[in-house]
Amino acid sequence: QVHLQESGGGSVQAGGSLRLSCVASGNPDSTRCMGWFRQNPGMRREGVAVIDGDGSITYADSVKGRATISKDKDNNTVFMEIDNVKVEDSAMYYCAAGWPPCNGAWLKQGYRFIKDWGQGTAVTVSS
């Protein structure tokens, strides 16, 4: 099992940028998918972005063109930056680790089968 620790949440003005980090420890496997989900109360956890062991990336339509996910393999850290943030980007953001394929299906259905989650970091975007 891998331990995931997020950081970087907080308050940001609409139009600004947010940057999140996730450090994986325990027994991280570089071939795993690493990604970000977000959730608001009463809503389903939504996949935002995922990166695989080779660096292939998939984004949800809601952030495509505004988000950048990247990975520092040496430090087992995944980053995500969202530019031009919107009020609807407000949510609890969770880091997740799972097995390939790391694609749109992983983002859409991952809430069902992903076992390794961080505790979450809250993001609030104000207008």
pLDDT digits (tens, 9 = 90+) for 6-59: 999 999 999 999 999 999 998 778 778 999 999 999 999 999 999 998 999 999
pLDDT > 90: what percent of the chain? Answer: 83
pLDDT at 75 over 80: yes
Q: What is the mean pLDDT of residues 105-112?
A: 92
Instruction: Tell which residue, 87, 108, 111, 79, has the closest CA to residue 12.
Output: 87
Q: What is the pLDDT of residue 111?
A: 87
DSSP-derived secondary structure letter, 104: H
> Which stretch of 18-22, 24-28, 67-71, 110-114 has the lowest confidence by average pLDDT?
24-28
Residue at token pair 């299906």: 105
- Give the pLDDT of residue 74: 85
CB 120 within 8 A of CB 74: no
For residue 1, what are its two tokens?
A: 């099992």
* Average pLDDT, rounded, for the chain: 94
Mean of the pLDDT values across residues 53-75? 95
Task: Tell which residue, 8, 4, 2, 3, has the closest CA to residue 121.
Answer: 8
Minimal CA–CA distance to 50: which of 17, 80, 19, 85? Answer: 80
Instruction: Give the pLDDT band (50/70/90) at residue 118.
Output: very high
pLDDT at 1: 79
* pLDDT band (50, 70, 90) for residue 92: very high
> Which residue is listed with tokens 């979450």?
120
